[in-house]
Copies of this chain bind each other. A is one copy, B any other.
Amino acid sequence: MPTQYDVTAIGNAIVDVIASADDAFITAEGLNRGSMQLIDAARATELYGRMASGREVSGGSAANTIAGLAALGRSCAFIGQVADDQLGEVFAHDIRASGIRFDTPARGAEPPTARCLILVTPDGQRTMNTFLGASQYLPAAAIDAELIAASAILYLEGYLWDPEEPRAAMRAAIDIAKRAGNKVAFTLSDAFVIDRHGADFRALIEEGAIDILFANDGEVQALMGTADVASAVTALSAKVATLVVTHGADGAEAHSRGEHARVHAEPITRVVDTTGAGDLFAAGFLAGQAEGRSLEHSLTMGAVCAAEVISHYGPRPEADLTALVRARLG
């Protein structure tokens, strides 16, 4: 059956609050540099009070990926929970303005829409502190079965495995996608998330629920319980149809049914803010796959999209991704 959407994603519906910070601030606040940690409302207020002046932009890992896919011309939908407040309006506006179908109703005013306090150090690295707010209450009822069945790919973020209700909602969505014969793509999101939910992720992989898996070096290590990335990648690639591993500045590789490809990172003048790099890499790769491109071509599309998003503040594309991909790949 032809599908109506290329990709539907389920993810945290977050507005990012991005501010500059020096390394001393990261240390003084006891943060895991380059990582994501969950914070409660009190900690969010306290940390925000000490942060520099910021900029607010719509974020959320899977939402960023979907925004990238839409910018690359794919038809997309997003499912995620906002509150009935100003940041929720911002999130909903931005995702719809990007041409993405977004129907999840706002949930009332409390708790408020999720925000991620992102501290960007002078090297461009981001350290994320997420107050999940409304996002953690995404109910199973928000999973539109018709929409999932009508989407060639269901895309899920590991971050959303933390809160209980969305985890159940995602499990239900996986079943719907699988019954419809569609593909499930999953990003492992963060090594610390794997520390909390690695057993679940490994079980999903073992049962064949994941067709396309995205991970970076640290996530592969955490998932496979080894510091040896190369052997972990080899072992993992035997368990999923398509495995994409990003190596930061060292490029990325993909394994799919015995095929293998590897690309360098795209050159970039200055890394301003790495927020969204992995999300946009996934967008480029999935768009390439949707176009029927080779693994190498798809990886390069991912690298082009990642390079765009790290060249400015904010986790979603600002330049014309389609034009950038055309300029690079013809």
Contacts and interface: CB of A to CB of B under 8 A. Distances in A.
Contacts of A19: 97
Nearest to A18: B55
Given A86-B86, A97-B51, A112-B86, A57 B58 contact: no
A289 B98 CA distance: 46
Contacts of A316: 53
Contacts of A11: none
A57 B55 CA distance: 5
Interface stretch (A87-95, A181-189, A226-234, A253-261): A87-95
Interface in A33-71: 48-49, 51-58, 67
Contacts of A211: none
B56 A55 contact: yes
Nearest to A86: B86
A53 B112 contact: no
Nearest to A50: B97
Contact of A55 (B51, B52, B55, B95): B55
Interface residues of A, number: 26
B54 A93 contact: yes
A165 interface: no
Interface string A316-329: 10100000000000
B97 A52 contact: yes
B56 A90 contact: yes
A57 B56 CA distance: 6
A314 interface: yes
Interface in A4-25: 19-20
Contacts of A90: 54, 56
A162 interface: no
A-B pairs, top 6 by smallest CB distance, nearest first, are: A56-B56, A53-B94, A86-B86, A53-B97, A55-B57, A52-B97
8 contacts: A49-B93, A52-B97, A53-B94, A53-B98, A54-B93, A55-B56, A56-B56, A86-B87
Given A55-B57, A56-B90, A85-B86, 15 more contacts: A20-B318, A48-B93, A51-B97, A52-B97, A53-B58, A53-B67, A53-B94, A53-B95, A53-B98, A54-B93, A55-B56, A56-B57, A85-B85, A86-B87, A86-B112
